[in-house]
Structure 1
């Protein structure tokens, strides 16, 4: 069974906007969401740079019990999911009558673990931790909370695959629907942005230290890049079988036509070229596409010297020199980690629907590898019929997704 899989809803809560309209405007003008956080510097971070994401006010939207179960990233995921369900026109009655699933990317829940541990160390009484803490601390916190809040009765689990988590969640949702196991799945990714969640990354000297001008610090593919900037938020995509979407009369935003994945099988943190090449080739084969069919690539490119180089080489290997337009929205958002693979599908869908390619801001001087790519420096008006989005993560996990503009 090979069902067609379409997108009927999307939601986004990020450092460049709290909803699709705000995010679209930021993408179009190349607006950065990066700030310098003094709290991180006080804590001893090497780099205080971060994407700034405002915590949502959920009082009045959710009952108290639901609110205290949600960690920070769960709040972002909830906001994005409310938007996506509204756009997909999946109301409470429909959800109650149908088997809707959830597959969400998340690979940490640092602050609740630290908060609980601090109480134990100080008070020596675990009864003071509170009954909600356990539901915040687990990696599966988002799927367990959202499935309860929205009363979902389909597939329900979390994908933890480092910075490819959100992309793999969408890819797995695509396969569950394509093979007829589900008709509709809420997918996406979320990332906490509190100061505790990124300390271990900073300990690797992975972050940029261009603190004098935060908005120019994220420089994917640029020769002067010196590291990524951590960021976060939540992004939700509603996937649905074509039959289900048509039967409901849903508005179709796009069609997922390709998913490729691979493992580098080498160093736990150093990237390779061959792993991403296999992921890209699998996605292209799955989609039945030639390289000339891809109108835009949203690169993983996080602004690290090694990572951007390996991806540039992989893209050159598969697509050749200077053909497909490429940009990394991380130049504006920073690296949204577990969320990035999902948010970048939202960003690319917004570009597709509004006929433009967002710029790879801060790209001034290519290196020997990025000079071979067609990197978009300023906003370009373009009809996008098919886009590809890459996501790669620690442990050598790779994911590539291909989405086509909807046509009957």
Structure 2
């Protein structure tokens, strides 16, 4: 079994367009949540969202490649450029090595709607355009990035709801650990346009506390009333330890555990048993003691039932030991298909810079969160290992354990 390390990271999110900006936002507890007035015009109950500017790719990609990318593909491209640069991977390396790609993505709504609108209005499918199909498939990110970067290894999309990005890292970790690949680009991407989340709004899943958008996402707080949708792109270069050492790559952290489970229960309401099993499986795989895990990046999306049951699962698994627990979604909102990947990046940045970002807006615990150690202010602390949870509709659960590299 080979060791699996992270040699590159890249991020494009509502709290920063690169690693430096994101690190500063995390350190200072800066929220990226705001108001999208278009959503009210469309009949949304909540106009809260992560505020994210789309990148200008005209000087970076030719017209054909730009037109095949959907919104979330643009974010993923920007994150990948940074991740490969961060890892010291150039075109020559990609030409000579079978680098793979596993990306989490579970929708590409806007291109589908745009195509259907054209067909209904014009009664002519040819007017949809040749790039539409490459934007609208769920595999859009992996198919586009594999062509842009000339990737020749494993190539498919993980569609696991809000655990997609985490599962992408987990599957990449397993493939490298078992010797099937030396290097895989893993990540997650999420579109931010209102079309993508209309059904969520219709289910009353979103917070409606719009008076101060920065205070709307309040994971674990007793007065939470729903999540805030967000998105972007997050890319990580996973590599075998031997490959990283051989080429003198920077090693940012080591992935040591991957746990997963399925609730086998309600399609949208999480339970305690599934998440608990996911945590236990990751801890077993990592061969780590509970006391070594100093920080948990919780899935906690700011929903009443979800946060409650995750807090119960964490409390039961850690059985009296209280590591710091926060949800970076208090700053970013719920980045959905991207979240499992971005939150590993957020946590790695914190681990490598000796701090834990605050769980914003945590003022009063409920019966379950009162059992956890949740800091509402930044904690300046050195720690060597963290656990990251990601759960999704259909009861899919993923837990990752990452630690500083040890010889």
Could you say which residue in structure 1 is the equivalent of 2:288?
289
Say if 1:30 and 1:358, in contact at 8 Å, map to a contact too: yes
Could you say which residue in structure 1 is the equivalent of 2:250?
251
Q: Distance in 2 between matches of 1:239 and 1:256?
A: 9
Q: Distance in 2 between matches of 1:388 and 1:85?
A: 24
Question: Which residues of 2 match residues 220-259 of structure 1 at below 5 A?
Answer: 220-259=219-258
Q: Distance in 2 between matches of 1:211 and 1:36?
A: 8
Q: Distance in 2 between matches of 1:144 and 1:323?
A: 42
Could you say which residue in structure 2 is the equivalent of 1:366?
365
Could you say which residue in structure 1 is the equivalent of 2:261?
262
Q: Distance in 2 between matches of 1:266 and 1:365?
A: 30
For structure 2, the residue ranges without an aligned partner over 5 or more in a row are none
Could you say which residue in structure 2 is the equivalent of 1:24?
23
Q: Distance in 2 between matches of 1:141 and 1:84?
A: 19
Could you say which residue in structure 1 is the equivalent of 2:108?
109
Say if 1:321 and 1:373, in contact at 8 Å, map to a contact too: no
Report deviation, 1:323: 1.3
Report deviation, 1:225: 0.1
Say if 1:376 and 1:322 are closer, same or farther in 2 by CA, change over 3 A.
Answer: farther
Say if 1:322 and 1:373, in contact at 8 Å, map to a contact too: no
Could you say which residue in structure 2 is the equivalent of 1:144?
143
Say if 1:322 and 1:374, in contact at 8 Å, map to a contact too: no
Q: Given the two structures, how large is their TM-score scaled by the length of structure 2?
A: 1.00
Q: Does 1:324 align with 2:323?
A: yes
Q: Distance in 1 between matches of 2:260 and 2:177?
A: 16
Report deviation, 1:322: 6.0
Say if 2:232 and 2:338, in contact at 8 Å, map to a contact too: yes
Could you say which residue in structure 1 is the equivalent of 2:344?
345
Could you say which residue in structure 2 is the equivalent of 1:35?
34
Q: Given the two structures, how large is their TM-score scaled by the length of structure 1?
A: 0.99
Report deviation, 1:320: 2.5
Q: Distance in 1 between matches of 2:247 and 2:43?
A: 53
Say if 1:363 and 1:322 are closer, same or farther in 2 by CA, change over 3 A.
Answer: farther
Q: Any idea what the Cα deviations from partners look like across 1:229-284, whole Å, max 9, x if unmatched?
A: 00000000100000100000001000000000000000100100000000000000
Q: Distance in 2 between matches of 1:349 and 1:369?
A: 27
Runs of 4+ in 1 over 3 A off after TM superposition: none
Question: Which residues of 2 match residues 9-408 of structure 1 at below 5 A?
Answer: 9-321=8-320, 323-408=322-407
Q: Any idea what the Cα deviations from partners look like across 1:39-63, whole Å, max 9, x if unmatched?
A: 0000000110000111001011011
Say if 1:230 and 1:337, in contact at 8 Å, map to a contact too: yes
